[in-house]
Amino acid sequence: MAKNMAKKYFGTDGIRGKVGEYPITADFFLRLGWAAGQVFANEGHGVVLVGKDTRISGYMFESALEAGLTAAGVDTRLLGPMPTPGVAYLTRTLRAQAGIVISASHNPYYDNGVKFFSVQGTKLPDEIEEKIELYLDTPMTTVESSSLGKAKRIADAAGRYIEFCKASVPTKLDFDGLRIVVDCAHGATYHIAPHVFSEIGAEVVSIGVEPNGLNINDKCGATKPQKLAEEVLNYRADLGIALDGDGDRLIMVDHKGEIVDGDELIYIIAKSRLEANELSGPVIGTLMTNLGMEHALKALGINLLRAKVGDRYVMELLAEHNGMLGGENSGHIICLDKTTTGDGIIAALQVMAEMQNSGKNLHELKKGMTKYPQVLLNVKTKSKLDIDLDEKLQKTVKDIEKKLGDSGRVLLRSSGTEPLIRVMVEGQNEDKVNEYANQLAEQVTRSVT
């Protein structure tokens, strides 16, 4: 199949969009379930796991996927609300043929999407996604009634994943006396994360654990950690943990109420692994990774390589360079020595383990790196803009880069999941960074109107 066909539905992180707008519709998910079932049936035998987050449309899409898989003759195991990394783990340990997650991650409730995992608990290879797309363009059929798939629910799915998370830190570590606030964003970790942290001995205050189908990621979680910061101060907690709607992002808050982002958390884990002589390969960041993190890692003798934005690309570079740690400043953190994909709970546990091992609090641990001021602006677009071919835009970029020199960076890119142009400017002088970012955003606005 031609490579451009693979881009018809699947993006960098599955398929995502607004509920009710094609392809995020019940009839498409029915066909998607059938198409995936056709591919999986041809590739071999085995059940397919289906998990979801807490948004209200998950019921509709779960039923549609189940019907499509059943029509293709594939058995389904329904997990109910389950974090994305939990589905990846269960797909691997239950030796399922594939895992499917119904989620739009950190997006609002009115969006939804779907992503797939292989039997290894990793993203599906491109060639499998391409085969699924091929079937999506063919007429849907139903197998003989005697060959129809069957569906069952796995009742202990949450318990299995809780035990896996707890096992990612040594049992000798004593978290007794540690008070933490956990914000589950009213998402898929609401019935899992509080148990994980309390069962390892911490005193847990839970917020964002009352999903109603409409409040996922609403003014809470990893994308809006301000509420968590307030609660950490209010409860005089040692730290706060913010997860996103599907549990693959992590942002933390120290005891002073200061937000600790993905770059700082990756730095803490990298330094911890290095000191334990357990770090292999370079650390993989993205084009958005703060320059301060790159410099801090370099001071430790650790190389940072930058991938395109998206955990898929981070995973590709980790595999290519035999790395074990990577992620994004947004909070996707991949610890391949512990699991196969980005996992907010497991990343938080690694940071907590370093706190206990070092005797330092989170505020002290993050001081090892100094972030450069970084301004990120999102410019909404209605028409498609080819950034590379817009001469005025490219001239503005080059002018700003020249002014920044070696002490800063400029990044301009189209979002892979939303109709946005992302403008990022980074440098040592905060006033200049703000000035340049606004200048570039204004030029983008002129170019798209």
Q: Which residues are catalytic?
A: 105
Q: Where are the alpha helices (DSSP H) in 44-114?
A: 58-71, 84-93
CB 74 within 8 A of CB 154: no
Distance CA 170, CA 313 (A): 30
**Whole-number Å distance between alpha carbons of 65 and 50:** 8
Query: Is residue 360 within 8 Å of 396, Cβ to Cβ?
Result: no
Cβ(261)–Cβ(374) under 8 Å? no
Give 277's contacts (C-beta < 8 A, 6+ positions apart). Answer: none
The pair of three-digit structure tokens given for residue 9, joined into one six-digit string: 């539905």
Number of H helices, E strands in the chain: 14, 18
H or E segment to which residue 438 belongs: helix 430-448
Beta bridge partners of 151: 76
Q: Which of 449, 375, 383 is nearest to 412 (CA)?
A: 375
Closest CA to 188 of 222, 164, 163: 222
CA 198 – CA 96 distance, rounded (Å) = 30
Residue with tokens 């509420």: 227
